[in-house]
Amino acid sequence: MPPDRVRVAQRVHLRYDGTDSALIVAFGSVADMVAQFERAYRQRYSFLMPGRALLAEAVSVEAIGMSDAPTEIAPAPRAEAAGELAAATAPQVADMVDMHSGGKSHRTPVFLRDVLRPGDQVTGPAIIAEANATTVVEPGWQAEVTPLDHLVLRRIEARPARVAIGTTVDPVMLEVFNNLFMSIAEQMGLRLEATAYSVNIKERLDFSCALFDAQGQLIANAPHLPVHLGSMGESIKTVMRENAGRIKPGNVYMLNAPYNGGTHLPDITVITPVFDEAGKNMLFYVGSRGHHADVGGITPGSMPPDSKVVEEEGVLIDNFLLVEEGRLREDETVALLGSGDYPARNIEQNLADLRAMIAANEKGVQELRRMVEHFGLDVVHAYMRHVQDNAEEAVRRVIDVLKPGGFSYEMDSGAVIRVKIGIDKAARSATIDFSGTSAQLPNNFNAPSAVCMAAVLYVFRTLVDDDIPLNAGCLKPLNVIIPEGSMLRPRYPAAVVAGNVETSQCITDALYGALGVMGASQGTMNNFTFGNAEHQYYETICGGSGAGGADAGATGAQGGFDGTDAVHTHMTNTRLTDPEVLEWRFPVKLESFAIRRDSGGRGRWRGGDGIVRRVRFLEAMTAAILSGHRRIPPYGMAGGEPGKVGRNWVERADGSKLDLGGADKAELVPGDVFVIETPGGGGYGRPGS
């Protein structure tokens, strides 16, 4: 490579002291590199930390040789057999076949690509076949061979006007915006995964990201955790209400208060208002919610099985200003997380994950502004309304074919969730009434009303076959009644840590039971936490899903499905940490992880099997389990049998055994093994029918 064709790039990897995410800048003077770093850091995270030192983590030198791009040459004209140039004739048809397109069958010509010449035109419907590709030319389109022998397709007939359900808009553009909104939320999630520190967020993906309109209505979310997303809108509205008239560009807020849209204390929500480029007008909100491995409380991991009031579950955060006009309020955040009788145990890890959540939100801010720049604000706002209208109509169409029903769902503690679903065919609406549900509980299985609404939103969204984002429009046809002071709408200072993870699953299965759609899933997240002063870890563990009929109100006669073995179900959607990462980051050994055969309920369609998980401890730790269906089995439906209940126990290093309840904890020493057997799903239809 000649020297004048070689470019040398010198780069430095810089990061703030105390963080683990480096940004790459071009080598230069210190002042120049600092300026580059701050621009890149603000672009990614939306704030700076001017009091932090900068560390050069690595330097790199890369030599790049630049070659010439090949020149395309037009092919020579093809000659006839006699040697003369071919006269301009219509392309030769090689075959005629039937093709289905646009809801119609077409008698369609087939052309061979290698005999087409520059200037040839093929009008659809047509098929162009070659050795390694097939090009379908739809009706209303035309293909032309260019002078460089490229094949170019263009529309030659205007598309017929169509209207999407529930709207007066073009369904193609509606689908474009559906996917654009979803894509922004997914990009937020990818940035959060890439920049987070904790195993909980980076490996298990226990987080959610979403977009909201200026009124705090959910517009779209990535397919993360349903229990997060259906409830996050209440957190947005809390920030709007509590900061009315004081929200400024560059501000970021956080909260975890269960009585203001939160779910339980480990789930911290970070909310960023989106202003226009001039910083004058509020346009949207973006939010991310992540489960932090520890926010304090009476046990490491902040999931105590025996908490009686919310303060025993960690630090309560309600409408806290995390970033003020582009400056991270680090000292104030550290003071908050270190406050109270049971402060957070690893504040540096909390801060690292909070920075990642701010960065994820900033990605959403940037992409929304890019969308506004491309389409215009009026168009974006209009389609935010249209996607909600579309979702509303999709749910109304489901309600048109649903039957009313009721269900009573007993939990292991004896608490009961009662739900009655009424259908108003004329109004195309449904009333979901939880009257008769047990009163607020003395344990921590109380679920904030936001969690109950999330479960309702999730269930009715799953009944819609159309590929639409889960958004606030799904709730518009639904009237949800949750009695004040019940276990589904508790009053402060009720403990709620299990309500988010356990009761949410029970609400979901109660709703499916009332609809008669499917057998119960394992009905629990099997929340396993362990830790000490240095290490804190949390995971949810998979089990069996329920079997089901063909559709809502199905009797099991046709088209059902088996449950799935070893899967996270319904309101959770996390991964399990890879064994290599688990054993590298924590002093434990994963001895076995296996499917628990025949634990799913029998039926014409059988429920999925649960699992057996054995974890051996290499250091002294406190371990806790929050789980359900250890006494009451997951129900079967339409004559299907229930799944088997789960079990928890500890095998001591000295050979003794300690049986544990569904909500229990134990002090472990090196050599002890914690064993968890998760429930199977319920069957559907009578066995042998």
Q: Name which of 91, 100, 25, 94 is nearest 58 in CA terms.
A: 25
In tens, the pLDDT along 357-389 reads 999 999 999 999 999 999 999 999 999 999 999
> How many angstroms separate the CA atoms of 663 and 12, rounded?
51
CA distances from 109 to 125, 129, 132, 153, 564 (A): 8, 11, 19, 17, 45
**Residue 100: predicted pLDDT:** 92
Q: Are 480 and 454 in contact (CB under 8 A)?
A: no
Q: Name which of 540, 204, 195 is nearest 353 in CA terms.
A: 195
pTM for this model (two decimals)? 0.78
Both tokens of residue 525? Answer: 């997240």
DSSP assignment letter at 605: B
> How many angstroms separate the CA atoms of 559 and 347, rounded?
52
Q: Residue 337 — φ and ψ, nearest 5°?
A: -65, -20
**Residue 476: predicted pLDDT:** 92
- CB burial of 154-183 (b: ≥16 within 10 Å; e: otherwise) equals eeeeeeeeeebbbbebeeeebeebbebbbe
Q: Name which of 494, 503, 556 is nearest 525 in CA terms.
A: 503
> How many angstroms separate the CA atoms of 361 and 348, rounded?
20
Residue 131 neighbours by CB distance under 10 Å? 7
**Strand-strand pairing, 527-531 and 478-481:** unpaired
**Residue 516: predicted pLDDT:** 92
Q: Are 673 and 614 in contact (CB under 8 A)?
A: yes
C-alpha neighbours within 13 Å on the C-beta side of residue 198: 31
> How many angstroms separate the CA atoms of 576 and 583, rounded?
13
> How many angstroms separate the CA atoms of 666 and 674, rounded?
9
DSSP assignment letter at 345: S
Beta partners for 518?
Answer: 548
DSSP assignment letter at 102: T
Angle at which helix 30-45 crosses helix 347-375, to 10 degrees, equals: 80
Across 444-526, where does the E strand assignment appear? 478-481
Q: Are 21 and 7 in contact (CB under 8 A)?
A: no
SS3 of residue 181 by DSSP: helix
Q: Name which of 387, 563, 582 is nearest 472 in CA terms.
A: 387
SS3 of residue 651 by DSSP: strand
**Residue 553: predicted pLDDT:** 41
Q: Residue 381 — φ and ψ, nearest 5°?
A: -60, -40
What count of residues does the chain have?
A: 689
> How many angstroms separate the CA atoms of 12 and 10, rounded?
7
Both tokens of residue 56? Answer: 């050069």
**Residue 194: predicted pLDDT:** 85
Q: What angle do CA 357, 362, 363 make, to 5 degrees?
A: 100
Beta partners for 529?
Answer: 538, 624
**Residue 51: predicted pLDDT:** 82
Q: Is the dihedral of CA 569, 290, 415, 297 positive or negative?
A: positive
**Residue 627: predicted pLDDT:** 97
SS3 of residue 364 by DSSP: helix
Beta partners for 110?
Answer: 95, 127
C-alpha neighbours within 13 Å on the C-beta side of residue 591: 14
Kindly compute the dihedral angle of the four CA atoms of residues 641, 644, 645, 651, in this order, to the nearest 10 degrees.
170
Measured between its terminal Cα atoms, the distance across the chain in Å is 75
Both tokens of residue 226? Answer: 């349903």
**Residue 229: predicted pLDDT:** 63
Where the chain has pLDDT below 50, the residues are 80-88, 552-557
Q: Give me the amino acid identity at 71.
A: T
CA distances from 242 to 210, 236, 319 (A): 21, 10, 7
